[in-house]
A and B are shown apart, each in its own frame.
Chain A
Amino acid sequence: DQQVKQNSPSLSVQEGRISILNCDYTNSMFDYFLWYKKYPAEGPTFLISISSIKDKNEDGRFTVFLNKSAKHLSLHIVPSQPGDSAVYFCAASAIRNYGGSQGNLIFGKGTKLSVKP
Chain B
Amino acid sequence: EAGVAQSPRYKIIEKRQSVAFWCNPISGHATLYWYQQILGQGPKLLIQFQNNGVVDDSQLPKDRFSAERLKGVDSTLKIQPAKLEDSAVYLCASSLITLNTEAFFGQGTRLTVV
Contact of A102 among B58, B99, B108 (CB under 8 A): B99
In the complex, what residues of B have CB within 8 A of residue A89's CB?
42-43
Q: Evaluate contact between A46 and B107: CB separation under 8 angstroms.
A: no
Can you list 15 A-B contacts (CB < 8 A)? A42-B108, A43-B93, A43-B105, A43-B107, A44-B91, A49-B102, A93-B99, A93-B100, A101-B58, A102-B99, A103-B48, A105-B43, A107-B44, A108-B42, A109-B40
Most chain B Cβ neighbours within 10 Å, of A34, A44, A49, A101: A101
Determine which of B33, B45, B101 lies in contact with A49 in the assembled complex, contact meaning CB atoms within 8 Å. Answer: B101
Q: Which 5 A-B pairs have the closest CB atoms?
A: A107-B42, A101-B56, A43-B105, A103-B100, A103-B99
* B 86-107 binary contact with A (CB < 8 Å = 1; else 0): 0000010100001111111111
Contacts of A32 in B (CB 8 A): 99, 101
Q: Interface residue count for B (Cβ, 8 Å)?
A: 26
**B106→A101 contact, CB < 8 A:** no
Interface assignment of A60: CB less than 8 Å from any CB of chain B? no
- The answer to whether B42 and A46 touch across the interface, beta carbons within 8 angstroms, is no
The answer to whether A41 touches B40, judged by C-beta atoms less than 8 angstroms apart, is: no
- Chain A contact-residue range equals 20 to 34
Beyond A43-B4, A43-B108, A100-B56, is A109–B103 a contact (Cβ under 8 Å)?
Answer: no
Interface digits, A92-117 against B, CB 8 Å rule (1 contact, 0 not)?
01010000111111011110000000
- Whether B105 lies near A103 (C-beta < 8 A) is no
| Residues of A bordering B, CB below 8 Å | 4, 32, 34, 36, 41-46, 49, 89, 91, 93, 95, 100-105, 107-110
Q: Is there an interface contact between A101 and B102, defined as CB atoms closer than 8 Å?
A: no
Which residue of chain A lies nearest to B103 when distances are taken between CB atoms in the complex? A105
18 extra interface residue pairs, beta carbon distance < 8 Å, beyond A42-B108, A110-B42 = A4-B42, A32-B101, A42-B107, A43-B4, A43-B93, A43-B107, A44-B43, A46-B103, A46-B104, A49-B101, A89-B43, A93-B99, A101-B48, A101-B56, A101-B58, A103-B99, A103-B101, A104-B48
